[in-house]
Amino acid sequence: MKWKSLLFLCFVTNFATAQISVSGNNYIFATTSINATDVYLFVEDDVNLENTNSYFYLRNNAQLLQGTGSTGNSGVGQLSAYQTGTVNNYAYNYWCAPVGNTDADDNANRAFRPSNNIYDETSAPITSALATYTSGHNGTSGPMVISNRWLYTYSPGLAYSEWDYMSDSGTAGAGYGFSMKGSTSGAQLYDFRGKPNNGTISTNVQTGDWTLVGNPYPSALDALDYIHDTQNQTSINGSLYFWEHDASVNSHFVADYVGGYASYTINAAGTVETYTDATFDTYNGDGSLNTTGGTRTSPKTARRYIPIGQGFMIIGTANSTARTQNSHRQYYKQTDVDSEFFRTGDSKKKKKPVDKTPDDIVYDDNGLQVLPNEYKRFRLNIDFNEVYTRQILQNFHHTATDGFDYGLEIESPEGVNSDAHWILNNKPYVAQAFNFDNDLKIPLVVKVNDENKLIRFRIFDVQNFNPNQSIYLHDIVTDVYIDLTEENYELNLEVGEYTNRFEVTFVNNEDLATESAPLVIYQNNTESKLTISNPNSLNINDIVLYDISGKQIFHHEDLVTNTKHEFSTQGLSSGVYLASIKINKSTINKKVLINNK
């Protein structure tokens, strides 16, 4: 189909054709601006924007999808697609351009070049001018001026020094991402104009290295199809990492940067998303931000459908290539629940469940996925000195193994000085999966690098467990079991890497050992009382409570023969204590955790 005259395509649903060709001073304009009707164009083969003044405009969630035709797009005209970056002039977004340069007319995808492909809207809805650049530190708006000193690519590497400077005159190959800082206005609209990318696009990966890639198309990219592409299953670890930069830190010095990588994967059935937040603030027990500690100003959430322009990191598992294909493309509006550009917004925003088909993902009011019944899950928030929280997650399903489960487990992005993680094959993980068993003991590693720290363990997002099922954190050194579904565990740790001190269990071995004992000793933190259950009304000679250093806290003698004794622990510092009870010539010692807020 060749368009020879001015053409508007507005409010069109499921428009499909074998080819589109625009010549002369003509254009296609697709938008959803009036009645919000879904608008996408599906072209089986190629798009030919023949002349320099031939245009194809996508506006207001309109998208272009293409099929398996092998010709490839051509011409020297421009497709125009908008995306908004909302970090400020001190912070980075990661991008991946949906278009390449228009230097020549051929059927291959062309490299993106900022000076050729980023435009500044001057008059809505179609008029834009090439962006201008400065070598200064700060980008500005009105008109838009981009600081070229922050334009970098990363392919592939491990060290900070392996970022490659691009500038405005350099290039990023199709499918590769790039970094760019925002403007002083915060929200900044970018008009990406150029030859639309199409077909299979390959990006290099190396074993253990990171590569900055992204969605290279003028349509949404389905993370499910990308992650479970047969080529990608053999070349990457199956996780996508999204950079989040704390825009409240107004500094260009690397030492002052505050940021981290949020991580995402999805199972092969497309029914279970696994996502962990970037780590540089703290959270409350319900997953909401903890405003008493360090905070970030732009919490974000990765979703299944990756919007136009979004860049992300992948980790290679072989010296090979990862790929995107037209079959990974999907029409999905960025404004819908399962898509979000990594931009300013509340990742815990209220998202009411809507009617879905059985295979679709539903979120609760906190934006967390409601799991299918056959899966179990919990998350741990591990706080470091009220400054930031590492969030880690456990999935449980009968298909999960003791080895690596692609699409359910996420290798840790690390990046913070003191950290916590699960462990698998000597690698750190922020998400892990097992076939649930009451006898499981799951090692948990905590690393304290720079100074002694107050560490707090908290649990939330507990799904599909029996309501009576306890989830314990076992402190192996003090031999204390803390039921995290009932209380948090807080302690001070000295500098070091604690690889054998903590584990998550579902059975309290202390309870098993005392089931047949004449006495049961436990701490009731709800009422701040040390409690002795004495069902046989034994004659207790005395009870002594010691702190962890051996200092005597209290001593009571010649207790009456009640079936229950309670001793106030109100006012004591939170920590591990030793209760020592004498009965005739026998002594029973029990470590208890006192948690007073």
**Residues whose CB falls within 8 Å of the CB of residue 245, separated by 6 or more in sequence, listed in order:** 87, 91, 92, 93, 257, 258, 259, 298
**Residues whose CB falls within 8 Å of the CB of residue 10, separated by 6 or more in sequence, listed in order:** 29, 30, 31, 34, 39
Look at residue 544 in the predicted model and tell me its pLDDT. Answer: 92
Query: Which residues are paired to 160 by β-bridges?
Result: none
Look at residue 284 in the predicted model and tell me its pLDDT. Answer: 60
Split at pLDDT 50, 70, 90, the class of 370 is very high
Domains annotated for the chain, with CATH where assigned, are: 2-258+296-330 (no CATH), 371-510 (no CATH), 517-594 (2.60.40.3080)
Residue 595 and residue 526 in contact, taking contact as beta carbons nearer than 8 Å: no
- Indicate the range of 129-133, 219-223, 291-295, 592-596 predicted with least confidence: 291-295
The DSSP secondary structure of 335-367, one letter per residue, reads: TSTTB--SSSS-TT---------TTS-EE-TTS
Give residue for tokens 């001593």: 555
Using a 10 angstrom Cβ sphere, with 0-12 exposed, 13-18 middle and 19 or more buried, the burial of residue 568 is: exposed
Look at residue 11 in the predicted model and tell me its pLDDT. Answer: 41
Instruction: Sheet containing 542-547: give its strands across.
Output: 552-557, 542-547, 575-583, 586-594
DSSP 8-state symbol, 521: E
Split at pLDDT 50, 70, 90, the class of 67 is very high
User: How do beta strands 118-123 and 201-205 pair?
Assistant: unpaired
Instruction: Give percent above pLDDT 70 in the chain.
Output: 87
Look at residue 290 in the predicted model and tell me its pLDDT. Answer: 56
Look at residue 317 in the predicted model and tell me its pLDDT. Answer: 98
Query: Which residues are paired to 195 by β-bridges?
Result: 100
